[in-house]
Structure 1
Amino acid sequence: SKARRKGKKDSGDDGSKKRRCISSACVPCRKRKSKCDGSTPSCSACAAVYNTECVYDPNSDHRRKGVYKKDIDNLKTRNSTLQTLIQAILNYPEDEVAGLVQQIRTCESLDVVAEAIIAKENGLDEEEDEPVSPFFDTPTSAPPTFESQLSGKMGELRLEDGSTRYIGGTSNLIYLGAGSDVEDLPGSLPNVEQYQQQENAVSSWTAVTSDTELIMHLINMYFCWHYTFFTTLSKSLFYRDFLLGKPPPDSRRKTEYCTPLLVNAMLALGCHFTSWPAARDVRDDSATAGDHFFREAKRLILEGDLHEIPKLTTVQALALMSVREAGCGREAKGWVYSGMSFRMACDLGLNLDSGGMYHNTNSALDETAEDARRITFWGCFLFDKCWSNYLGRLPQLPTSIIAVPKFEVFPDEDAGTWAAYTDSGYSQAHAQPSRTRAVARQISALCEISSDLMNFFYNPIDIDKAKGKQSELKKLSEIHQRLETWRRELPKEFEPKEGGLPSMLVMHMFFQLLYIHLFRPFLKYNQATSPLPAHVSPRKLCTQAAAMISKLLRLYKRSHGLRQICNVAVYIAHSACTIHLLNLPEKNARRDIIHGVKHLEEIAESWLCARRTLGILSVLAKKWSVDLPEEAATVL
């Protein structure tokens, strides 16, 4: 009836754009009786909600064959599509004709529209995938939109205030209509204003200094030595906005990938790789390196309430601030910054695959924006695993919440030249392809292994519980196999060598660290009680890994010096030195502990945490009554 058709149309427009009619749902959607949008090769429900394989098999949809398939077949054979459309326009209620005409004008196939009209005349709305029931015959019994929304909402991404945010299915906020999103999309402003460069563009991002040479020096330091390991943003997108300068207050131009907060966080980190006096808050005190830029970053957060406004660049900046605080020996503060970064990342839905999850399809991101989200999340994933290992805590970003794919490796970008940058400028001695993203993907694979390792062997809930030896052995064997597979499948260009990429050498240190963490829990067993085979010695394996870390540090020193190295290397070196202390006075242990403390002393010029590490090693040596070699004792 007219009332029934009108009721369905009105309800379909409530709160969302009407789904297009489809002739048959996919097999998984039919089995679970969920709505199917008919997208190929995979519908949105299978791809974004259920993560299942999507298969279309119209011939198996027996419910429809006896209802309207015969009419559709007759329609095609009589070639009466146009007649069907004209009759519908003549007979439709006045208030529905405009919608039908619009559908005809915008559709991809008139046959599909005609099929939908015939199905509607037969009393079967193709959007409904339920069997025909006598309970649905009256207008008051039509399937209500309210119930279908309550049961169907599994979560969505929506654009609010320029940021994409994730709202889950149990949240009542999912029914709150979003505002005008299109205006907030990147690229919605006039091109002339959007790409107009400001005066003093480089210095416009910070209030600490107007010295353009200093700013570029520190930015180069950051991208050369820190970004290559902790890859958490799109370098090309950052530079695109950075070089245009901070938009004036009266400008409509928005910078999506560069903000004063992010720049000051980068500058604070860059200060740790240079000896320029201007990089220090107190010019003759290296312990104050970067403090002035970090203080400016904190001011921007507090004065602008930036911690309350989810934004991609804020996620990145907070992560960088967290690792910088760790390098300065302020773990409690760094832990808080990392937590803020990770929570904001999840609020933005960075951990999810955004395909098909947008409240407004006009808000869907392009490939560039999607890539920026992915590389930011996997950067956070690395920061989280470094914090997890460093503090011995469980990961805050578990693999169970991750649905977003890894970021892509762009050949043009990774083929760009990496060259060592120091206070003397660029050196071409070990210039080579940067391979930044390729290395970052390898590191992310190690992080996934680290996550499982920490959750099983270092879970505080299980510390007082006696795990079965077979259970421990099974998990150890599984993780050991994954580590060996990672090493075996590593491309030849990523093998450690003289003059290798700094990020690659630190990556191998991290790999060896995971070996120490894997076998260290088994040091408590003696040969009689160990669940391991007799020929497997946890102590020997830990010793070999620690020795390899020391070897990699020597390789790094010969290739690049230790003045410029990521602060995560301090923690890795500390873990190796602890094993060296255990093995003293053995010859190789003596050599490695001497090298280890001297390396830490050299790194301490850049990172305060290295100075504290030397103090901790001294305390351990006394506590364990270890007879230190004289060369090491002098440093400690």
Structure 2
Amino acid sequence: MKMSNHDHTKQFQALAPGPPRIFTPQTSTAVSRPKKSSTACLACKAAKRKCSGPDAPCKACRANNTECHFDPTRDLRRKVAVKRAIHELANYKDLLESLVKTIRSDDQGKCERVMGLIRGNASYTELAHAVGCPSMTFGDPQELSNASKLAIAEYGDTPVEVADPKRRPSDPSTIPSSPEESQPIKASQWPSVSPYARVTLESLCDIPLFEVPAKPWTKVTDNDYLVSHLVSLYFTWDHPCSQFLDQGIFLKHMRLGKQNSEFCTPLLVNSLLSMASAHSDSPDVLSAPEDAFSRGQNFFSEAQRLWEAEDLENDGRELPQLQALLLMCCVFKCLGRLRKSWMMLSQANQLARDIGLTDTPAESETKMSPEMRRVRAVTSWGLFNLSSQMSIELPRAAPVAYPTCEVERCGNEDVNWTPYPRSNKITCDTKPARLPQVREGLAQVAQILVDVKTLVSDKHHRRASSTELWGKANGPFERLTDWLQQWPGVAEIQNDPVPQVLLLRIKCLQAIVRLFEILKDHPQAEYSQKAQYYQVTSLVETARCLRIHRQKYGLKHIPTEMVDATHTGLCILAYQLDHGDEAKQAFIELCQFGMALSQRFKPTADVIRAIRKRALNQSLRLPSEAIEIFDGPEQWNGIEP
């Protein structure tokens, strides 16, 4: 039946509003299900009875007057269980490697002591101490109980999340369920970072020391976790040893996220992230997949772009620009691009003069805020320390900008220092960072290096004979030896070490090595042999400091300031092995550091490669322990003489 035209135009009447609904409050009480505890105590599990759950003691144990202990790590669904499993496996792996190296070594006395402990049914902890393995615990019930409680308090007693399709690939908690889900690893001539690097203790349970935002500081990533992770790495391993900026003030302004800050800029942040990437194993810091030497290059390229686009005229933010130049100088140095590093340092010194860091404090400085005066002082001394050091290391040295303010103006406030990431340990000791003392010690060594640089210049321009140079070297040498006696020695540092205090002593020892590098080619054999003696003695003590770092913190995270000490020691001791067992053991220790650093820094890899080639040419005879550290004799076949 068709509709008529009248039907098309017919208007329907509006519906009348219904009666208002009256919501009456619920008078009945909702019945909630009893909360089910997914963690039972050990006594209830043994008796196969219901448990009321944490905290101890549970109701059943109170009623039966039995001991009540909870071990959530037995629940394999939970992060704390994964954390404990990785912790224990990593400990056993480190112990096995240290044990094998001890058995392979020529130290028969040490081997006999270790075998005696094994036959005497010694604990794993005692064995680890005997073979020089980093301090750890193996199955200690009290330690594991405390660690489990701490882990639950920090990370929560929640099951491990799996198979979340919405999670980004760069999320540290993303774990492939099988090897087939990951991309195959391609062979590369450089050290590679495996895609499985995410499946680590840090990636599962890591909490950065400092939480900072990625935006608006960098366009490379919007991952707040990754940026916080890198910032925490920098302030743990590099900042205490260089101190180009003030940690508290920088973090405060970075968290505020204001781009017009006079203490934090995108240029400075990207430079810092690039420097910190050398310490990270995350594939997200690689610019070239699986190429370990491409760490942080994306951040560095962004920093270079921002530097070229910066307008320094009346910008008001020259100080963070200066700090960024110092960081970029260090990045170029780690890449082995010394000419570029020198250019960045020269620009930093020029900018320091432009903003008055090297001039007599003007009256206008009194109008600055306390924060600005403090940061200016910290930066000026950081620039002076780096310039003094590089003025000897590089063939073309930037002019040293001597600060006009006293180092005490940098402040006496200290911060707490914690090894980050936590590596194989669940609990970590927090110690004073000793930043003011390290800053003062570095300043004293840098002032002596100015005099050493004068000797380098005199020798280069032939303004003094070898005998005259030797006489002039007595002053700096006495000042350096006095410094070593006034500051904590190796035995004192070993009781409570932090990397920056170890590095402080290494810096002074390196200054002695550099000093006698000028004098070792003296035409008289007596002077030449004496110079070599002082170099070897200093490098032996340097190796002792490095050994303390290895035993306490391992070789996964090493301050970049220790790279030069490792290079110098390897190149000198490789030809001074006939100076005795101490020189030999020092060289072996440096080889361990060299192999660890060669996975992150190409200059170190080149040094190791050069030593291998000389040994293959039989122009250099290395100890068997060093050959084993260099991945075994079978790995040398691919090196062309």
TM-score, normalised with respect to structure 1: 0.60
Partner of 1:497: 494
Partner of 1:226: 238
* 1:196-239 deviation digits (Å, cap 9, x = unpaired): xxxx9542211111111111111111111111111011112212
What is the Cα deviation at residue 279 of structure 1?
1.9
Distance change >3 Å, CA 493–CA 628, structure 1 → 2: closer
1:516-535 to structure 2, matched below 5 A, reads 516-525=513-522, 530=527
What is the Cα deviation at residue 518 of structure 1?
2.0
Q: 2:236, 2:420 within 8 Å by CA — same for their partners in 1? A: yes
Question: Are 1:572 and 2:562 counterparts?
Answer: no
1:159-170 to structure 2, matched below 5 A, reads none
Aligned to 2:302, the other structure's residue is in SS state: helix
Question: Are 1:558 and 2:551 counterparts?
Answer: yes
Q: 1:375, 1:407 within 8 Å by CA — same for their partners in 2? A: no
Structure 2 CA distance for aligned equivalents of residues 365 and 491 of structure 1: 36
* 1:533-561 deviation digits (Å, cap 9, x = unpaired): xxx92222111111111221111111112
What is the Cα deviation at residue 449 of structure 1?
0.7
Distance change >3 Å, CA 279–CA 594, structure 1 → 2: same
**Range moving further from structure 2, 442-451 or 305-314:** 305-314
Partner of 1:403: 404
Amino acid at match of 1:255: S
Q: 1:494, 1:504 within 8 Å by CA — same for their partners in 2? A: no
- Which of 360, 364, 367 is the equivalent residue of 1:364? 367
Structure 2 CA distance for aligned equivalents of residues 477 and 294 of structure 1: 42
1:530-541 to structure 2, matched below 5 A, reads 530=527, 537-541=530-534
- Which of 355, 380, 392 is the equivalent residue of 1:377? 380
Structure 1 CA distance for aligned equivalents of residues 353 and 624 of structure 2: 51
Partner of 2:215: 203
Partner of 2:598: 604
Distance change >3 Å, CA 544–CA 352, structure 1 → 2: same
Distance change >3 Å, CA 484–CA 307, structure 1 → 2: farther
Q: 1:594, 1:632 within 8 Å by CA — same for their partners in 2? A: yes
What is the Cα deviation at residue 367 of structure 1?
2.9
- Which of 291, 295, 299 is the equivalent residue of 1:289? 295
- Which of 228, 232, 235 is the equivalent residue of 2:247? 235
Distance change >3 Å, CA 330–CA 473, structure 1 → 2: closer
Amino acid at match of 2:367: A
Structure 2 CA distance for aligned equivalents of residues 330 and 519 of structure 1: 26
Structure 2 CA distance for aligned equivalents of residues 619 and 448 of structure 1: 38
Amino acid at match of 1:385: S
Partner of 1:592: 586
Structure 2 CA distance for aligned equivalents of residues 633 and 306 of structure 1: 52
Partner of 2:536: 543
* 1:111-150 deviation digits (Å, cap 9, x = unpaired): xxxxxxxxxxxxxxxxxxxxxxxxxxxxxxxxxxxxxxxx
What is the Cα deviation at residue 476 of structure 1?
1.8
Q: 1:316, 1:376 within 8 Å by CA — same for their partners in 2? A: yes
What is the Cα deviation at residue 514 of structure 1?
1.2
Q: CA RMSD in A?
A: 3.0
Question: Are 1:267 and 2:270 counterparts?
Answer: no
Partner of 2:197: none
* 1:272-321 deviation digits (Å, cap 9, x = unpaired): 11111112223432221101111111111123345996700000001101
1:137-536 to structure 2, matched below 5 A, reads 201-247=213-259, 254-305=260-311, 311-356=318-363, 358=364, 364-394=367-397, 396-397=399-400, 399=402, 402-408=403-409, 410-411=411-412, 413-414=413-414, 416-422=415-421, 428-459=427-458, 461-462=460-461, 464-467=462-465, 469=467, 471-490=468-487, 495-497=492-494, 499-525=496-522, 530=527
* 1:581-600 deviation digits (Å, cap 9, x = unpaired): 22224433333323322321
TM-score, normalised with respect to structure 2: 0.60
Aligned to 2:494, the other structure's residue is in SS state: coil
Structure 1 CA distance for aligned equivalents of residues 417 and 452 of structure 2: 33
Aligned to 1:208, the other structure's residue is in SS state: coil
Distance change >3 Å, CA 372–CA 426, structure 1 → 2: farther
Distance change >3 Å, CA 222–CA 570, structure 1 → 2: same
Aligned to 1:472, the other structure's residue is in SS state: helix
Structure 2 CA distance for aligned equivalents of residues 319 and 260 of structure 1: 15
Q: What 5-or-longer segments of structure 1 have no aligned partner?
A: 1-199, 248-253
Distance change >3 Å, CA 418–CA 460, structure 1 → 2: same
Aligned to 2:583, the other structure's residue is in SS state: helix
Q: 2:374, 2:409 within 8 Å by CA — same for their partners in 1? A: yes
* 1:556-615 deviation digits (Å, cap 9, x = unpaired): 111112222222312211211222122224433333323322321111223222112213
Structure 2 CA distance for aligned equivalents of residues 278 and 308 of structure 1: 37
Q: 2:352, 2:358 within 8 Å by CA — same for their partners in 1? A: yes
Q: 1:300, 1:306 within 8 Å by CA — same for their partners in 2? A: no
Aligned to 1:497, the other structure's residue is in SS state: helix
Aligned to 1:588, the other structure's residue is in SS state: helix
What is the Cα deviation at residue 440 of structure 1?
1.3
Distance change >3 Å, CA 306–CA 276, structure 1 → 2: farther
Identity rate of aligned residues, in percent? 23
Distance change >3 Å, CA 590–CA 204, structure 1 → 2: same
Amino acid at match of 1:242: M
Q: 2:349, 2:398 within 8 Å by CA — same for their partners in 1? A: no
Amino acid at match of 1:540: Y
Structure 2 CA distance for aligned equivalents of residues 307 and 553 of structure 1: 45
Q: 1:395, 1:451 within 8 Å by CA — same for their partners in 2? A: no
Structure 2 CA distance for aligned equivalents of residues 452 and 509 of structure 1: 19
Q: 2:519, 2:531 within 8 Å by CA — same for their partners in 1? A: yes
Distance change >3 Å, CA 460–CA 523, structure 1 → 2: closer
Distance change >3 Å, CA 345–CA 425, structure 1 → 2: farther
What is the Cα deviation at residue 625 of structure 1?
2.1
Q: 1:374, 1:406 within 8 Å by CA — same for their partners in 2? A: yes
Q: 1:392, 1:458 within 8 Å by CA — same for their partners in 2? A: no
Distance change >3 Å, CA 429–CA 538, structure 1 → 2: same
* 1:419-462 deviation digits (Å, cap 9, x = unpaired): 10116599654421111122111111101111211221354643
Q: 2:268, 2:320 within 8 Å by CA — same for their partners in 1? A: yes
Structure 2 CA distance for aligned equivalents of residues 508 and 493 of structure 1: 8
Partner of 2:192: none
Structure 2 CA distance for aligned equivalents of residues 482 and 420 of structure 1: 33
Structure 1 CA distance for aligned equivalents of residues 348 and 443 of structure 2: 18
